[in-house]
Amino acid sequence: MKLKISQCKKSEYPFIADIEKNLFDSPLSINDLETMNSQKSFKTWKIHGDYLIGYICYFHVKDEVEIIKLGIMKSHQGKNYGSYLIQKIKSLPIKKIFIEVSCLNKIAINFYIKNGFKKIGIRKNYYILKNNSRTDALRLSCEP
């Protein structure tokens, strides 16, 4: 399957929302995506062949990017698709990329470190888990 990265259309938000439900405890809904999309700085890229494999959504303001979500379908993880999406972001004319992940998400932390991100801080008790307990957020950044 020949892979491409291209900008996501609003009509594809339902596919993203479906993958989100499979990947995250607090998935983005179609409505969340549409609300963020009302801001000009909000962008979503998809990686796809005949069907959507993964996506990255982020805010791009001046020379900085804040990644909001990056997701690769479970069946397609570990095949570098996530890293391709990060490379796409790194090719933008920017100076810094930021991301926050749950401290419990060791795979994502490994992934961002492997892709050149450094740990820059912790937000205590930032995420609420399904059982209503809280966990810290790790903030990472990268200079492409």
Residue 96: CB partners within 8 Å, gap ≥ 6?
63, 64, 65, 141, 142, 143
Q: How many CA atoms lie within 13 A of 84 on its CB side?
A: 18
Strands 4-7 and 42-48: antiparallel
Contact 67, 98 (CB under 8 A): yes
DSSP state of 29: P
Q: Please name the amino acid found at residue 49.
A: G
Contact 8, 46 (CB under 8 A): yes
- Smallest distance from the beta carbon of 138 to ligand COA, in angstroms? 10
The reply to whether 49 sits near ligand COA by the rule CB under 6 A is no
The reply to whether 107 sits near ligand COA by the rule CB under 6 A is yes
Q: Which of 83, 119, 122, 134 binds ligand COA (CB under 6 A)?
A: 83
Q: Which of 8, 101, 137, 142 binds ligand COA (CB under 6 A)?
A: 101
Query: 56-75 mask for ligand COA (x: CB under 6 A)?
Result: -------------xxxx---
- Smallest distance from the beta carbon of 70 to ligand COA, in angstroms? 5
DSSP state of 2: -
Query: 6-45 mask for ligand COA (x: CB under 6 A)?
Result: -----------------x----------------------
- Smallest distance from the beta carbon of 74 to ligand COA, in angstroms? 8
Residues of this chain that interact with ligand COA (CB under 6 A) are: 23, 69-72, 77-83, 101, 105, 107-108, 110-111, 114
